[in-house]
């Protein structure tokens, strides 16, 4: 559950901080006007944007509505479904246990979860479920962290992903132990180690955290990450005292923003919107506490996580990871063959995408910046060269124009930076 509120240092930027941080106040206002226009056009319900440099928040802006029908405005403390921005937190939790000597990256997953021994693999990614071959080797923990283990994610039209849905591996009443047991009975989509394929591997990471720590995954994250970083509004569900701060999820129905709930059911081909993680109200404490998705957070909470990484493992005197571990996690771990089909100029670390060549990637960045995003238009990145953390949170799926949030917000932020 989202924890009880505690007093935090002032999050609002102080007067003059923008100029001292190297940002143009006028160009930061351009960001606000840009998203105000998108809200006015009905292209998104709203957004909260946080920009921090040199360890200080220099721009925090809430635009539009958290709930259109209730005329509830976005606010700095609006709570968002993070979706896949859960994945970097899962990787961090597992790597904290790696630092404590619980495992080595090259160990097979089956050493700790025996069900994953003797896995079968589809003959080709388009083969029917029964057409399988023996795995050439077992997936390792390293494979989980870099998405090369061969798992799918449940939203593509192949036999493996469809079987995930059929066996209800994503149901909200399924624990991580139950989920991994179900996954182990389904063939892999690719041979382990062969190719990067974005997947549910962080859920298996979450199960490993439980095994190594002897604690439920959410309890470990709460004790070892959320509490030390004082991420007081982050967790896997929102209690009744904060339900009115959770942003409503919207989708585009005939060009109009529409609530994603049972009364406004999306079409059958809107895979994301019809999954348990999307229709979840996040107001009920379901057993599922996974690593692929499921967390809720605020802009200031997630900034604290990003700032910890930028600080090479520590924040406000609390160290979560060693500096060398953070450096190891935020470098590319894919070889050329594995990242075929991945974004040009971008590699994958252990929990994050890593920019290697901004020109090849085709968006503004510094080499060495790392980032990830979530399905409902949430995005964050950390730029060590510029000493910069940016968190942008919206709550829209499949709406016109919002697919460009990630390159747009980068262009707007970097063009406002004057040094």
Instruction: Look at the chain and count its residues.
Output: 419
Q: Name the DSSP class of 366.
A: -
Q: Name the DSSP class of 331.
A: S
Could you tell me the pLDDT band of residue 158, with boundaries at 50, 70 and 90?
very high
CA distance 150 to 143: 8
Give residue 72's pLDDT.
97
pTM equals 0.93
**CA of 8: how far to CAs of 3, 183, 232, 244, in Å?**
13, 41, 9, 21
Could you tell me the pLDDT band of residue 183, with boundaries at 50, 70 and 90?
very high
Class of domain 17-71+235-274+296-415: alpha beta
CA distance 301 to 340: 34
Sign of CA dihedral 71, 76, 82, 85: positive
Whether the per-residue pLDDT at 270 is higher than 70: the answer is no
User: What mean pLDDT comes out for the span 209-230?
Assistant: 98
**CA of 31: how far to CAs of 280, 372, 411, in Å?**
31, 20, 10
Structure tokens at 162: 């469809």
Q: Extract the runs of DSSP E, i.e. beta strands, from 139-265.
A: 250-253, 256-259
CA distance 102 to 96: 9
Give residue 19's pLDDT.
65
Backbone angles phi and psi of 176, in degrees to 5: -65, -35
Q: Extract the runs of DSSP E, i.e. beta strands, from 37-155.
A: 46-53, 56-67, 72-73, 80-81, 120-122, 132-134
- Longest CA span, the chain: 64
Distance of CA 350 to the CA centre of its chain: 13
Distance of CA 279 to the CA centre of its chain: 18
Q: Among residues 391, 380, 353, which one has the least CA distance to residue 198?
A: 353
CA distance 179 to 167: 9
Whether 403 and 311 have beta carbons less than 8 Å apart is answered as no
Structure tokens at 184: 């182990």
Whether 201 and 333 have beta carbons less than 8 Å apart is answered as no
Average pLDDT score over the chain = 92
Whether the per-residue pLDDT at 278 is higher than 50: the answer is yes
CA distance 280 to 284: 8
What is the percent of the chain with per-residue pLDDT over 70, rounded to a whole number?
Answer: 90
Between 97 and 255, name the one with better pLDDT: 97
Domain assignments of the chain as residue spans, ordered by start: 17-71+235-274+296-415
């Amino acid at each position: 559950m989202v924890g009880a509120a505690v007093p935090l240092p002032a999050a609002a930027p102080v007067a003059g901080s923008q100029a001292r941080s190297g940002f143009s106040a006028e160009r930061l206002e351009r960001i606000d006007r840009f998203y105000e226009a998108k809200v006015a056009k009905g292209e998104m319900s709203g957004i909260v944007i946080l920009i921090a440099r040199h360890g200080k928040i220099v721009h925090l802006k809430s635009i539009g509505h958290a709930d259109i029908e209730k005329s509830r405005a976005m606010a700095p403390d609006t709570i968002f479904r993070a979706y896949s921005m859960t994945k970097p937190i899962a990787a961090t939790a597992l790597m904290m246990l790696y630092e404590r000597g619980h495992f080595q990256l090259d160990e097979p997953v089956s050493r700790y979860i025996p069900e994953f021994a003797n896995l079968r693999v589809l003959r080709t990614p388009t083969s029917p479920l029964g057409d399988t071959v023996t795995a050439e080797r077992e997936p390792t923990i390293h494979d989980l962290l870099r998405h090369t283990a061969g798992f799918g994610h449940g939203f593509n039209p192949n036999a493996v992903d469809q079987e995930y849905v059929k066996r209800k591996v994503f149901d909200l009443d399924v624990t991580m132990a139950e989920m991994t047991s179900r996954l182990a009975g389904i063939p892999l989509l690719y041979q382990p180690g062969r190719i990067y394929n974005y997947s549910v591997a962080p859920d298996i990471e979450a199960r490993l955290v439980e095994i190594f720590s002897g604690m439920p995954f959410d309890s470990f994250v709460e004790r070892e990450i959320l509490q030390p970083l004082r991420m007081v509004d982050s967790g896997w569900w929102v209690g009744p005292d904060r339900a009115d701060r959770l942003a409503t999820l919207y989708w585009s129905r005939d060009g109009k923003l529409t609530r994603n709930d049972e009364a406004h059911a999306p079409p059958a081909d809107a895979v994301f919107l019809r999954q348990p993680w999307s229709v979840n109200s996040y107001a009920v404490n379901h057993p599922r506490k996974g690593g692929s998705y499921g967390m809720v957070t605020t802009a200031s909470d997630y900034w604290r996580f990003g700032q910890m990484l930028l600080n090479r493992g520590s924040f406000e005197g609390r160290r979560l990871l060693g500096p060398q571990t953070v450096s190891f996690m935020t470098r590319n771990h894919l070889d050329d063959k594995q990242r075929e089909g991945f974004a040009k100029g971008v590699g994958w670390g252990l929990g994050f995408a890593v920019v290697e060549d901004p020109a090849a990637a085709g968006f503004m960045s510094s080499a060495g910046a790392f980032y990830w995003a979530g399905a409902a238009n949430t995005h964050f990145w950390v730029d060590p060269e510029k000493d910069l953390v940016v968190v942008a949170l919206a709550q829209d799926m499949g709406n016109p124009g919002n697919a460009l949030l990630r390159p747009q917000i980068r262009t707007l932020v970097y063009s406002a930076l004057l040094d």
